[in-house]
Structure 1
């Protein structure tokens, strides 16, 4: 482990893991509390359309995926609330649209087909200094936003109707959080990959939720579990030369099963 720390790419991966765990821990707690897991899956897979458009247009695929994901998140909110379409139907529509556009754009991209492995399955060792810069900015903004609007976020997360009666800016919080969810998803793609990213913002939260319902404690616990999962995935990815996403999710699943087992045996005693 000491020898690995001498490599710049491993240092970047380590820092990126910690910052991503912070962002996913904060946003994921809101997702689980609001029961937005399916929406998160829709945005995650819709981002594939942005990646494809980026490759086809010759621009940064992460930037195009970011724009496409934010528009998809807002689109789901708008279609489900203003156009009378069921939310699950709206999510399925944007999910399918993103995947279809991504496949078409990638196959129409001139030249050699782009390597999608790092985007689909994640490769923590490919995190660059630029990725760290963006995820650090996101983490700081998230922390500041949650500190300033903690009461509003808490009310919206657990009881939307009650928040409306208190004349809180519910719409502002909802759309801002949807934007944060989309940004967090896209900036975490290199870590876990599109196929497994939904688990990164749900598994740590539901694991901690087994022991406490306190919103702040779930955030802190999720950050800790998420970072341990990322660290384990980082080491295994380097040693076995396998995309990190699968190892990270595997470790998180093991944490959840162990926590569930501890609670089961505690009830039996």
Structure 2
């Protein structure tokens, strides 16, 4: 068991799992409490367009995708303000458009390499030092942002109208939140891929909501659940040569089932008396 730590790629994967867990724990809590799961899924899938643009133009993938993610978040944020009806259809259209553009541009790029599919399905065992540095920088920014704006985030998450009455421009702040969510997805996409990242954002936060009573505790619990699932997924991928991203999601689903069942049995047995 301890032998896997002698390999650089597993060391990178474990370090990356720690930082990604923090990012997804915090971002996922914002997504779940603000009911943005479908919207976050739309952003995540559309970001393959950013991967395709970066590859086609020869830009660093993380920079090209980050820029594209900001544009998508701003576009959806503005549309949410003015297009309440059928907003889900707009998200679905952006989702399909981004995926289609990404696939076309990647396949049209000189020296096209199938390894770019790792951005779709995840490749945490191949993350690099630069990926880890990006995670640390974004995690630090995320921590400072949440710490400085915790009361505003709390208000927007649970009582947006009251927060607006306090003089906070909730519309602009929601767009800022969407941009941060989009950037978090970009930083985390190497873990489980753009297709499955929504599971890492939604399942741990949804599970942690069962046994926490504050937003901060929910973020911490969600990060812990994410880390446990990622460690399990990495071990399964290493020993059985399965896809790491898919393995992480399966572990997450098993953990969620155990937590939901345990919570149900606890309530049935103790709260009735």
Per the TM superposition, whether the score is higher than 0.5 is yes
Tell me how far 1:208 sits from its aligned partner.
1.1
* Equivalent pair of 1:49/1:102 in contact (CA under 8 Å): yes
Alpha-carbon distance, 1:98 to partner: 0.4
Residue in 2 aligned with 1:171? 171
Per-residue deviation, 1:91: 1.0
- The CA deviation at 1:61 is 2.2
Equivalent position of 1:180 in the other structure: 180
Bigger Cα displacement from structure 2, 190-199 vs 4-13: 4-13
**Runs of 5+ consecutive residues of structure 2 not aligned to the other structure:** none
In the alignment, is the contact (CA less than 8 A) between 2:78 and 2:175 conserved in 1? no
Q: 1:229 corresponds to which residue?
A: 229
Tell me how far apart the structure 2 counterparts of residues 104 and 4 of structure 1 sit (CA, whole Å): 38
Q: Deviations over 1:235-257 (max 9, x none)?
A: 11111222211111111111110
CA distance in 2, matches of 1:259, 1:202: 15
CA distance in 2, matches of 1:226, 1:128: 20
Matched with 1:160 is 160
Offset at residue 172 of structure 1 (A): 3.8
Q: Are 1:250 and 2:246 counterparts? A: no
Identify the residue that residue 207 of structure 1 maps to in structure 2.
207
**Which one is further off, 180-189 or 206-215?**
206-215
CA deviations 1:39-97 (Å, max 9, x no partner) are 10000001011111122112222221211111111101112323566421221221121
2: distance between equivalents of 1:134 and 1:245? Answer: 19
CA RMSD of aligned residues (A): 1.5
Q: Bigger shift: 176-185 or 87-96? A: 87-96
TM value normalised by structure 1: 0.95
1:69 — aligned with what? 69
Give the conservation status (yes or no) of the 8 Å contact 2:77–2:174: no
What secondary structure sits across from 1:35 in the alignment?
Answer: coil
| Mapped pair 1:115 → 2:123 | no
Structure 1 alignment gaps of length 5 or more: none
CA distance in 1: counterparts of 2:131 and 2:154, whole angstroms? 29
Q: 1:56 to 1:252 in 2, by over 3 A?
A: same
The 8 Å contact of residues 106 and 114 in structure 1, kept in 2 or not, is answered as no
Matched, 1:48 2:51: no
| Number of residue-to-residue matches in the alignment | 269
Q: TM-score, normalised to structure 2's length? A: 0.93
Spell out, residue by residue over 1:14-50, the C-alpha distance to the aligned partner (whole angstroms, 9 max, x if none): 1110001001101110110000001100000010111
Match of 2:268 in 1: 268
